[in-house]
Structure 1
Amino acid sequence: MDADPRTTSEQAPLPQPSKSWIEAVAGLVRASGTESFPAALRTCLEQVCPFDSMVVSTYTDNAAPVALYHDLDEMSAAVTVQFYATGPYLLDPFYLACRNNVEPGAYRLLDLAPKDFLRSNYYATFFRKIRIHDEMAILLRERENAWIAISLARSRRQRRFDEADRDRLNRILPIVEAGAMRTWHADRQAVPATDTAPQDRLRGFARDLLSRREAEIVQMILQGHSTPSIATELGIAEGTVKVHRHHAYSKLGIRSQSELFALMTRYLIETGL
């Protein structure tokens, strides 16, 4: 059985119970269940793991994600919140982890993403374009098919999140979960769901043009898999993957992964995701 990527042989120590840490936790307790909770949560989390921005979203049933809080500027919010919710979230490793019922907790982006994810057009769109260097998310399960994702991002001037950062967040997970559930679980309005599962709609992309195998490989390319990764996952030769990719691109009238990503996002927007 594979080891849980959130744990290490030596747990990273929590900050000493300094005055600022005690005040941050006290503020979080006082703000629980109120409109002040997101700001108090941000202050508390920064005591444990420094970051530059925070977005809180919900993934509920078959509905598109809903942002409950963010501290982004207008341009970053347009990409990370508005554009993301039109459909590209279906390729997000954190969203996919929730759909696959991952164990609740804190995860680094690279704990969940395919090996070559940093070369994908998804990464280029949602990270490089708005100068985000790395991301970590605290994933909380409200109930079956309903999650709260607290996403923390670091800009390019900071180092990537490491195992110690992740482990410290996991050690305060009960505090975060208790406050988040009290604040957002009971008060927010129900999100309208669609009749069709989002992944089924994504699989509908170019289905009338591509063979089953071509469509499968296109989906994996969009998720950030490389040719070797696809070959390993599907149990086929790398040359076979390249042939299917060439045929798929030819049928779609494109020549690159960036054109594929643009075509897919246009499809998601036009189909109303």
Structure 2
Amino acid sequence: MTAESYYGRPVLKPPVWKVPDVPLYLYLGGLAGASSTMAVLADLTGRGRLAAAGRLAAAVGATASVGALVHDLGRPTRFLNMLRVFKPTSPLSVGSWILAPFSALSGAAVASELTGRLPGAGRAAGVLAGAVAPAMTTYTAVLLADTAVPGWHEVYRELPFVFAGSAVSSAGAVGMLAAPGEAEPARRMAIAGSVLELAATRRMHRGAGLVGEVYQQGRAGSVLRAAQALTCLGLGAAAFAGRSRTARIASGLCLNAAAAATRYGIFEAGRASSRDPRYTVMPQRTS
């Protein structure tokens, strides 16, 4: 079945977000949130190097994520203006209020870590960042799914789990690379995150209906197939990472590349769905 729009123009205005700014924002935010959680748990279990690696990854990821968002917006004042009002019904407003304090707390925690000053305050900032971290890990999925873009809205149930699994696997991968002597918990994180991502992605594809086509074809389909292959490779390498330095490095690199590719593929799938009237019109005709 086909669907046409007036004058052959899209029913929806395609998202104007830029590449690579927004895909980087999605990837780095998830990595930062999961890394902060890893840092808190590592600190509680006495794994100092892993905790330091997690705090550094959280601070760098959050700061770079803000930078990518500001670059996409065009002017820093546009990001600051989003903080003038807190609107609980707006995922963008809530997300801004998650990103801003998380970035500040993560930066304070890693500054204390690197300088050795105010260790108590630095640790408290790290714990507070860890409390915000689960929201930081998944709010971007809610931000996408709450739009009218069919490719994102139709998978609103599964998308947070895909993003969460991807974020946890990439943070675990960073831990394996940065703290090899204390990498066992990070390796388990990487494995658990990879399994969750693969399972949620499979469920997303099966439950997306007609709009699921955008995840299988074109540039988005190619990128997402590459992401799944990299996730499987990283998962397999993580199984041997406890005994092999080469496997640990391969797993770390594959899982982070997979996380970035997953965000980019999902972003492209949404844009493709907004350009084709079928994905807007046909679900309404069958409902």
TM-score, scaled to structure 2: 0.24
The answer to which structure has the higher helix fraction is 2
The answer to which structure has the higher strand fraction is 1
TM-score, scaled to structure 1: 0.25
